[in-house]
Structure 1
Amino acid sequence: MLKKILQKFENPKRPLLGPNVKALRFWGLLLPKNVFKKYFYISMHILVTVFTATEYIDVWFVKSDMNLLLNNLKITMLATVSVVKVSTFLFWQKYWKSIIDYVTKADLYQRRTTDPKKLGLINDFTKYCRKITYLYWSLMYTTVIIVMVQPIFKFVASETYRENVRNGTDTYLQVVSSWVPFNKNTMIGYLAASVYQSYAAIYGGGWITSFDTHAMVIMVFFRAELELLRIDCSEIFGNEANDIEHEVVMSRLKDCHRRHVELVKYSRLFDSCLSPIMLLYMFVCSVMLCVTAYQITIETNPMQRFLTTEYLVFGVAQLFIYCWHSNDVLFASGDLSQGPYESIWWSKDVKYRKDLFLLVAQFKKIVVFSAGPFTKLTVATFISILKGAYSYYTLLSQSQMK
């Protein structure tokens, strides 16, 4: 049953990016050509953007309550990153489309091979992309469901809370803390606010999952392309038992050079689209992790602590996946120069060695993704962010103890 459902996400014309492109279209990041549908999605985006603005307004009203302030802050900042992701994706739509077209074209080109080693590598990477896409979708919507169910659960599970709400000493727990132009402490006002908040949570979750998994799969593609290129470079001259003609050797050399030039071009374009977002996200993630960790330590309700921990896991996983895959691309790019030297270059004429040297010089252009002009997306950077978040957490804990 599940397999049949997942099969509907596949697209034979996009064997690698099929589910990811469908998600981008479903959530309106890739705008349709139909004018009505296009403006429908734009209006949906505007509604969520306006909702994010109301979250900032609500900060002023809850500033006296530290727990509500921290809860609002972590969700508002994550929502801000989502709005920036979508806004930049829409503004730079033509660049994202060109990246998608390049990835699809290069992927289809590689899948024409009959080499079992390369086919096995391609299939492994495709399966990995599916796993990370579906697991990330599951993690994100588990978080969304928890956020939406949390108020209901607290109302049902806590008799004290229900009594406090009835006598007016406590207020209804909101799905997402936000300002509304009416009284949300009445039953009708609360239900109306909850509907809007739930819509924003669901649609915002769709934004995050479609954008993040799309970006992560493209990172995996760059790593796969680099590893496949290394294999092709090692086979430029064939093997000792099979002498390759001059025209074939030159064709292979030119093909490897062309592919790497294209790879560097589109990896830099991809980085230019992603880098500003990752710079903002690193700052937001540091604050979000600090706030969530602090809430876990001060929370006394076991269920509430579990829900907050799940939110923390999602925040850590989101940043870690970016840094991990960027780190993989960096190492694959560094190892690419070994490809030509794994061929039987030593048995060939000097004129081939000169061409091979030029190819190795081209491979010296390292492919790596960044977070603004300040740092690279690597595992070392991820560890530094965790250390920074822990420092902020310690500072916040000590300030509250005084």
Structure 2
Amino acid sequence: MLNVLKRLENPKRPLLGPNVKALKFWGLLLPENIYMKYFYLLMHVLVTIFTATEYVDIWFIKYDLNLILNNLKITMLATMSVLKITTFLYWQQHWKDIIEYVTRADLAQRTTDDVEKNVLITKSTRYCRKITLFYWSLMYTTVVIVIFQPIFKYFLSRNYRENVKNGTDSYLQVVSSWVPWDKSTIPGYLIASAFQSYAAIYGGGWITSFDSNAMVIMVFFKAELELLKIDCSNMFGTETKPVSDEVALKRLKDCHRRHVELLKYSRLFDACLSPIMLLYMFVCSVMLCVTAYQITSETSAMQQFLTTEYLVFGIAQLFIYCWHSNDVYYASLQLSQGPYESLWWYRDVSHRKNLYILTAQFSRVVVFSAGPFTKLTVATFLSIIKGAYSYYTLLSKSQTK
């Protein structure tokens, strides 16, 4: 995976190189070539149709709670993937503007000779690569488990294998979905499994490219706020090397411009992400509840392990978003300290007035939201976990009566 990331590096995009290439590979950033564009749109339509068949299958398994829960666990995640891609394609120009801004602002800061800023930029870039590698690994591990789960269960569970042979049990599907042919026969089951595996792989590619790109952009906003704070503290130079009034005014204007631009694109980013995160919270609550219930009700140790990994993936998805949004929030709160760390007391009244105006502008908090109802913070994540546990308790008690 590290070698793959190195090959995906782009000198023109030192921060978002691997993420942008992933977006292009999975067809979120549509190519200019008309034939390739329609090819990717066709792939998107096929996965969307497949997601609809997952809902259709609920009607045929409505009398079996375990099958319904297993279906919902995958279907709701697939629905989120479809909505992510649909909104990304619909707001494609907005996402391109955000990506170009991140690249432009990142390149502008990498030309600095400031040791402290260089350390921060290097640290942020390495962290982005680590979080991208971690998320990709977690996602594709989940996809592999989902695809090979029927094989694992068939060879590792003797009772299930015997039940399938004598006809008292059916083949476990890769993903619960409806198909217009008989899945109980070997040919029909294999064809359905192939289509389900394709949807799982492509849906996994959607999730990894979209989520990792959004997470790296959040890391960028935090780093940009911290870099802006450093520049504000150095606005008037040092006691041993003070700068002229002209240079100080130029630095102040640059800090103002950068903050205005940061606010503009952070709000645009939030506008593109917020509707997704609102539904994401609801879906994760249900998904975590269902998965936790399946772990406690499952008797097979292997099945419990596979379901636990899926639970870890679901928790990690939501936690990473809330954690990075929380970081951006606290970095924006600390930004106003930057001007006060400068040599403001060393300058005349006109500079102090300008600095006061700049500090007032810095009071605008940057934080990402989940719709109009709540902010993406660690506190929100804990509330969702508590809610999911409450749903799980209610579901468990209803089954024991």
Q: TM-score range by the shorter chain?
A: over 0.9
Could you say which residue in structure 2 is the equivalent of 1:283?
282
* Aligned mates of 1:201, 1:289 — CA distance in 2: 19
Following superposition, the deviation at residue 294 of structure 1 comes to 0.5
One-letter identity of the residue aligned with 2:133: Y
Once residues 324 and 64 of structure 2 are traced to their aligned partners in structure 1, the CA distance between those partners, rounded to angstroms, is 39
Where in structure 2 are the equivalents of 1:164-175 lying within 5 Å?
Answer: 164-175=163-174
- Match of 2:327? 328
Which residue pairs with 1:199 in the alignment? 198
Match of 1:144 in 2: 143
Determine whether 1:108 maps to 2:99.
Answer: no
* Aligned position for 2:382: 383
Give the AA of the match of 2:195.
Answer: Y
Q: By how many angstroms is 1:123 displaced?
A: 0.2
Q: Distance in 1 between matches of 2:157 and 2:237?
A: 72
Provide TM-score, normalisation by structure 2: 0.99
d(CA) in 2 for partners of 1:372 and 1:28? 26
Query: Corresponding residue for 2:233?
Result: 234
In the TM superposition, what is the alpha-carbon distance from 1:141 to its structure 2 partner?
0.3
Structure 1 residues 393 and 119, CA gap change in structure 2 (3 angstroms): same
The residue type paired with residue 357 of structure 1 is: Y
Mapped contact 2:182–2:188 kept (Cα < 8 A):
yes
What amino acid is aligned across from residue 391 of structure 1 in structure 2? S
For 1:159 and 1:293, how far apart are their aligned partners in 2? 25
Shift of 1:129: 0.1
Is the contact made by 2:218 and 2:324 (CA closer than 8 Å) also made in structure 1? yes
Kindly report the root-mean-square deviation, in angstroms, between the aligned alpha carbons of the 2 structures: 0.7
**Distance change >3 Å, CA 3–CA 65, structure 1 → 2:** closer
Once the 2 structures are TM-superposed, how far is the Cα of residue 243 of structure 1 from its aligned partner?
Answer: 2.4
- Counterpart code for 1:279: L
Q: After the TM superposition, list the runs of 4 or more consecutive aligned residues in structure 1 that deviate by more than 4 angstroms.
A: none
Q: Contact 2:2–2:133 at 8 Å: present in 1 too?
A: no
- The structure-2 alpha-carbon separation of the partners of 1:176 and 1:37, relative to structure 1 and needing over 3 Å to count, comes to same
- The code of the aligned residue for 1:65 comes to D
Matches within 5 A, 1:3-402: 3-402=2-401
- Taking the aligned partners of 1:345 and 1:334, their CA distance within structure 2 comes to 20
Report the CA distance between 1:3 and its aligned residue. 4.6
Mind listing any 5+ residue stretches in structure 1 that lack a counterpart? Answer: none
Q: How many Å apart are 1:242 and its aligned residue?
A: 1.3
Distance in 1 of aligned mates of 2:252 and 2:311: 48
Query: Over residues 273-306 of structure 1, what are the superposed CA-to-partner deviations in whole Å (9 max), with x where a residue is unaligned?
Result: 0000000000000000000000001000000000
| Contact residue 336 and residue 359 of structure 2 kept, 8 A | yes
- One-letter code of the match for 2:258? R
1:166 offset after TM fit, Å? 1.9
Distance 2:167 2:55 in 1: 25
Q: Distance in 2 between matches of 1:223 and 1:244?
A: 28
SS of equivalent residue, structure 2 residue 170 = coil
Amino acid aligned to 2:259: H
Structure-2 separation of matches of 1:11 and 1:278: 29
Call closer, same or farther: CA 1:154–1:124 in 2, change over 3 Å. same
Which whole-Å deviations, capped at 9, do the CAs of 1:323-363 have from their partners, x for residues lacking one? 00000000000000000000010111011000000100110
Cα distance, 1:71 vs structure 2: 0.5
Structure 2: distance between partners of 1:156 and 1:387: 37
State the shift of 1:160 in Å: 2.1
Deviation at 1:97, TM superposition (A): 0.1
> In structure 2, what is the Cα distance between the partners aligned to 1:194 and 1:166?
19
Q: Secondary structure at the match of 1:198?
A: helix
How far has the Cα of 1:373 moved from its partner?
0.1
Deviation, 1:6, is: 2.6
**Local SS of the residue matching 2:180:** coil
Compared CA separation, residues 4 and 316, structure 1 to 2 (3 A): closer
> Is this contact kept in 1: 2:233–2:341, CA < 8 A?
yes
For 2:161 and 2:329, locate their aligned partners in 1 and report how far apart those are by CA, in whole Å. Answer: 54
State the alpha-carbon separation in 2 of the partners of residues 47 and 11 from structure 1: 31
SS across alignment from 2:366: coil
How many residues are aligned here?
A: 401
Alpha-carbon separation, structure 1, partners of 2:332 and 2:4 = 36
Q: Name the CA distance, whole Å, in 1 between partners of 2:46 and 2:344.
A: 61
- Hey, what's the Cα distance between the residues in 1 that align with 2:243 and 2:187? 79
Displacement of 1:154: 1.1
The percent of aligned pairs where both chains have the same amino acid is 74
Letter in 2 for 1:68: L
Consecutive unaligned residues of structure 2, counting only runs of 5 or more, are: none
**Structure 2 contact 232–255 (Cα < 8 Å) conserved:** yes
CA deviation vs aligned residue, 1:242-280 (integer Å, no higher than 9, x gap): 121111011000000000000000000000000000000
Matched residues in 2 for 1:277 and 1:187: separation? 39
SS of 1:144's partner is: helix
Counterpart amino acid of residue 219 in structure 2 = V
